[in-house]
């Protein structure tokens, strides 16, 4: 049951939309619907981890997004995973974590906007730079992530529904039953409690212990050079990247056949 991961670049494009609706999925996690005035021509998202950049206005007015003469946004952006979209109807849904303020009193930019900006507040999106598309069905998969990766994990689990074996390790304080994760038979879910002082530390430990084990059985007989037919996704705080790469090396999986990424970086205290 081999699989492939292929990368498809997309042309750069900015789009103006408005905050059209918000739904609290669980306290601290908000789904926002962003609506354009017309269709989102050329917008697509075939890959489970597809993400775009979001420019939101500054609090407290949340009234406008700063742009240059060319109409390109000039302020800070945040990268968020595409949860769902309808290009013809002109909307995109994103699930945004709302963090408590850190020790320096910084609650972030997009979290407060997603939680509190008035409906109608403007937003500018930069289209995904590209897409990583998984086709086929791996014999097994390992998914490791924190709450920021839940939207991508949700989409990957749907794409991997035919895989007979899978392990999902999730570091989150949210009740997994409320996260709409498709966990079919043969899929093991391990939930780890986050340690705010050491984000992703439980995931780092899980990755190290997996690296000491044999990979799940299964290989593509036609392509023995590709290593085990196991798809690995590991995305969370930046500290997961090195142990994720070590796991790939230990299991003989080429890095381009996996997804390992820092979704955010803890600020130095
Ligand atoms: C490819 C990719 C996809 C992503 N997809 C999503 C997504 O779908 N949903 C989503 O919510 N985020 C996602 N992220 C993370 C996102 O880019 C931002 O980091 C996040 O939205 C926080 O932005 P902010 O403006 O609210 O806070 P920031 O200004 O970035 O940070 C404010 C404070 O919160 C802390 N903080 C930031 N993120 C976290 C966290 N995850 N856990 C604990 N503390 C944190 C910071 O250290 C800081 O102290 C993704 C990142 C990448 C690279």
pLDDT at 34 over 70: yes
Q: Is residue 50 predicted with pLDDT exceeding 80?
A: yes
Pocket mutation for ligand 1, best pick of 150, 152, 264, 267 (most atoms within 8 Å of C-beta): 264
pTM of the full structure: 0.97
Give the ranges where the chain is alpha helix by DSSP (H): 110-116, 150-159, 201-211, 241-251
For 137-264, CATH number out of 3.90.550.10, 3.40.50.620, 3.40.50.80, 3.40.50.2300 equals: 3.40.50.80
269 falls in which pLDDT band (50, 70, 90)? low
Out of 175-184, 197-206, 224-233, least confident range = 224-233
Per-residue pLDDT at 1 exceeds 70: no
Residue-level pLDDT at 253 = 94
- CA torsion sign for 76, 81, 84, 88 is positive
- CATH number, domain 3-130, options 3.40.50.150, 3.40.50.300, 3.40.50.2300, 2.40.30.10: 2.40.30.10
- Give the 3-state secondary structure percentages of the chain, helix then strand then coil, rounded to 5: 20, 35, 45
CB of 266 within 6 A of ligand 1: the answer is yes
What is the CA angle 18-93-196, rounded to 5?
Answer: 105
What DSSP state is assigned to residue 243? H
Domain with CATH 3.40.50.80 in the chain: 137-264
Distance 234 CA to ligand 1 centre (A): 16
Alpha carbon nearest to ligand 1 atom 37, residue: 264
Residue 220 has pLDDT above 80, yes or no: no
The pairing of beta strand 187-192 with beta strand 230-237:
unpaired
Tell me: the pLDDT tens digits for 64-97? 999 999 889 999 999 999 999 999 999 999 999 9
11 lines ligand 1 (CB under 6 A): no
Report pLDDT digits (tens) over 110-120. Answer: 999 999 999 99
Residue with tokens 């709302």: 98
Over residues 39-47, mean pLDDT: 97
CB contact set of 116 (below 8 Å; sequence gap of 6+): 59, 62
């Amino acid at each position: 049951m081999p699989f492939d991961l292929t990368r498809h670049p997309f042309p750069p494009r900015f789009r103006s939309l408005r905050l059209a609706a918000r739904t609290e999925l669980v306290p601290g996690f908000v789904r926002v619907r962003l609506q354009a005035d017309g269709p989102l021509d050329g917008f697509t998202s075939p890959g489970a981890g597809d993400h775009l950049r979001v420019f939101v206005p500054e609090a407290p007015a949340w009234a406008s997004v700063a742009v240059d003469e060319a109409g390109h946004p000039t302020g800070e952006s945040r990268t968020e995973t595409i949860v769902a979209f309808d290009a013809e109807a002109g909307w995109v849904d994103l699930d945004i974590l709302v963090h408590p303020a850190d020790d320096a009193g910084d609650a972030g930019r997009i979290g407060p906007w997603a939680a509190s900006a008035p409906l109608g507040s403007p937003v500018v999106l930069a289209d995904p730079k590209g897409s990583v598309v998984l086709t086929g069905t791996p014999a097994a998969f390992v998914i490791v992530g924190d709450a920021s990766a839940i939207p991508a994990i949700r989409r990957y689990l749907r794409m991997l529904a035919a895989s007979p074996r899978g392990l999902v390790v999730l570091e989150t304080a949210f009740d997994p039953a409320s996260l709409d994760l498709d966990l079919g038979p043969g899929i093991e879910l391990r939930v780890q409690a986050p340690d705010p002082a050491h984000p992703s530390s439980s995931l780092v430990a899980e990755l190290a212990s997996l690296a000491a084990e044999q990979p799940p059985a299964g290989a593509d007989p036609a392509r023995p050079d590709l290593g085990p037919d196991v798809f690995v996704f590991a995305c969370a705080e930046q500290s997961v990247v090195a142990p994720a790469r070590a796991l790939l090396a230990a299991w003989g999986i080429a890095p381009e056949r996996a997804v390992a990424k820092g979704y955010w970086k803890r600020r130095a205290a």
